[in-house]
Amino acid sequence: MTGLVRAGSYVVEAHASWSKWAARCGLCPNGTSLQRLQPTWDCWVCGTTTEIIWPPVKIMEAVERLLMMRPDPTKRNWFPGETLHDLVRENAEHGILDIHYAAIDSLPRTLLVVDDEGIRVDNLPALKHRVRQQVTP
């Protein structure tokens, strides 16, 4: 979502892009990576200050958990309007949640429960991943 909300102020929603939180400029097509819960950013192309709207922290954590299941960092994307169910479905369509119970008898029957407010049950094994360092100019 991009647009003029009040005189002299632009507001956009944060989204996940390639394992990072990001936002577009409220005026021009430029975008940037964000620090988690960063309130605003100043576009280095046009100089516009844009206010960032973040999803609730519980939703952010659920989005991060579901995206980090994906082995390819370029596929770790989420945009406002996509539900947690959408992310679970996309993961399943790509075999990410393909767990064979016969080989894992010690796992509980319910491995993952997601609703519109977050992850309710998470009995999946802990994820081990490398976090790419952000390059700062």
Domain, as residue range, for 94: 57-122
Mean pLDDT of the residues in the chain? 83
pTM of the model: 0.76
Please check whether residue 130 lies inside any domain of the structure: no
List the single range of 34-48, 74-88, 91-105, 123-137 with lowest mean pLDDT: 123-137
Number of domains in the chain: 2
Are both 61 and 92 inside the same structural domain? yes
Are both 49 and 63 inside the same structural domain? no
Are both 62 and 49 inside the same structural domain? no
Are 132 and 75 in contact by the 8 Å Cβ rule? The answer is: no
Strand partners, 133: none
